[in-house]
Amino acid sequence: MQLITVEDIIAKLGSEYSEEDKALIIKATEFAIIAHEGQKRSTGEDYVQHPLNVALTLAELRMDTATIVAGILHDVPEDTPYSIDDIKKDFGKEIARLIDGVTKIGTLKYRGLERYAENLRRMLMAMISDVRVIIIKFADRLHNLKTLEGVRPDKRERIALETLEIYAPIANRLGIDQLRGELEDLAFQYAYPKEYAWVRELAQHKILTDSKIIDHIKKRTQKELVAENIPVAYIGGRLKRYYSTYKKLLRKGKDIDKIYDFIAIRIIVKNPVDCYRVLGIVHKLWTPIRGRIKDYVAQPKPNGYQSLHTTVFGEKGKIVEFQIRDETMHALAEYGVAAHWFYKELGSKNIDLEKMPWIKDLISIQKSLKDNTAYLEKIKLDIFNERIFVFTPNGDVIDLPKEATPVDFAYHIHTDVGNQCVGAMVNDRIVSLDTILKNGDLVEITINKHRTKPNEDWLSFVKTSIAKDKIKQSLKSDRKKLLTSLLKKSS
């Protein structure tokens, strides 16, 4: 592995970093070198190589100076004679607070499910207090995965699994696709070595057989875009990552030929309007497959992802997916919340995570539960299962777990809508309340204002814990009322 120095970090910084910023980064590096003096990594290198690599990743993400400095010093309080107060004295409150956040996530003594739940809880709490803490933690985990060779096999597997089960889903929810992909693929080979080897072989073979024709399709599209005078920032093949491919293979009968976006063609243009012009051109060149056109530009995914997707019968009937977006959408797709630092023009660093609906759900679940195991079960159910996106009649996107029903949808909108729900329409058709919703469904709930309590049977099919809790609550309070009125009558 290549040794890095503070110059490598400085070299990544753009013109928006001042001389003082650079001086602070150099000062932090000198501090870290002294603090970690004599310590080695399991790979045999000087320990300080680890925090420097973490800081390099953060610099590549163009995070602010405080975050980069916190990356350099993140292991100081835990592993060296220097304390968080020493850091506060030399580097100020903000940096000390970030490092304290990283340290608090820390390492855990629990085992099994207990450990998993506690870890998850700490990550989420840190994230809500300052999302930069979690981004440092991701960079930390990334380098630990890259240097996993030197680690004991049982510990290696634990770190890899934890990455797949906790880190990657959170990165996904924050829309940091680039880091998520890297974390997943590094962890995949340690967590499931056989499966990794299988996917790698399938993928390499597929690339060999398909790349020529994909290149053809790309060139023909490119020619047409030039003819139509559409400025293009980028056009090229994008390969699906191994771990995502693996998960999709399991869903598609292990047949890689059924994964149409394994090699997708990605086109990045200059503005949103050009996205639609490109879509038109692609459809003029090739026949689109019905039901596979997705407009995430007009209807972004809840984590902010925007793009147009379409799957077409390309050259010689070859089925291929196109992903069309502009440069800002691309930044958001790759960097998610981190894009707010990466592309400074996207605006303030005070991203209000608490406004994101899934974070709101997490906080409310967290508040209502004390016991870790129960917390974990709910979280797993609601947050990390695969999600579907459905629409309200106003075109708002509602994000629900897979297999959610109209009743889950109703309670997601409002408790009263849930309690008064008497019917549902999906895509303008009347359906039963236990119908399983699908991605892209337009859902409309019929309510009856005179109805005040939910149907107990709903408990047998609802999927979200929010719906379950609210149904139980309403039934309970209903019984209480009934009981009180009965008592009144008898007295």
Residue ranges that bind Mn ion, judged by CB under 5 A: 75, 140
The CA distance from 214 to 320, in Å, is 8
Contact 286, 312 (CB under 8 A): yes
Q: Which is nearer to Mn ion, 71 or 314 (CB)?
A: 71
- The one-letter amino acid code at 379 reads I
- Report residue 230 as tokens: 């559409």
Catalytic, out of 16, 30, 78, 396: 78
Q: Which residue is nearest to Mn ion (CB)?
A: 140
The CA distance from 172 to 127, in Å, is 13
In 3-state terms, what secondary structure has residue 111? coil
Q: Which is nearer to Mn ion, 48 or 269 (CB)?
A: 48
Q: Which is nearer to Mn ion, 137 or 240 (CB)?
A: 137
Q: Which is nearer to Mn ion, 159 or 410 (CB)?
A: 159
- Report residue 22 as tokens: 């650079």
Residues sharing a CB contact under 8 Å with residue 89, sequence separation 6 or more, in sequence order: none
Using alpha carbons, select from 303, 154, 180 the residue that is nearest to residue 243. Answer: 180
- The one-letter amino acid code at 230 reads I
Q: Which is nearer to Mn ion, 140 or 177 (CB)?
A: 140
Catalytic residue flag (residue 162): no
The CA distance from 190 to 155, in Å, is 10
Phi and psi at residue 324, to the nearest 5°: -120, 130
Q: Is the dihedral of CA 413, 414, 418, 422 positive or negative?
A: negative
Q: Supply the minimum distance, in Å, between the C-beta of residue 406 and Mn ion.
A: 46
Q: Which is nearer to Mn ion, 29 or 306 (CB)?
A: 29
Catalytic, out of 79, 130, 315, 434: 79
The CA distance from 308 to 292, in Å, is 10
Q: Supply the minimum distance, in Å, between the C-beta of residue 161 and Mn ion.
A: 18
Q: Which is nearer to Mn ion, 75 or 382 (CB)?
A: 75
Q: Supply the minimum distance, in Å, between the C-beta of residue 94 and Mn ion.
A: 20
Contact 459, 453 (CB under 8 A): no
DSSP state for residue 167 in the 8-state scheme: I
Q: Supply the minimum distance, in Å, between the C-beta of residue 140 and Mn ion.
A: 4
Catalytic residue flag (residue 7): no
The CA distance from 273 to 199, in Å, is 37
Contact 359, 353 (CB under 8 A): yes
Long-range contacts of 294-301 (CB under 8 A, 24+ apart): 294/440, 297/272, 297/325, 297/329, 299/389, 299/391, 299/395, 299/397, 300/397, 301/389, 301/397, 301/399
Q: Supply the minimum distance, in Å, between the C-beta of residue 79 and Mn ion.
A: 8
- Report residue 106 as tokens: 């820390």
Q: Supply the minimum distance, in Å, between the C-beta of residue 57 and Mn ion.
A: 12
Q: Supply the minimum distance, in Å, between the C-beta of residue 243 and Mn ion.
A: 23
Contact 286, 239 (CB under 8 A): no
Which residues in 194-259 belong to E strands, given as ranges?
Answer: 232-239
- Which residues are catalytically annotated? 78-79
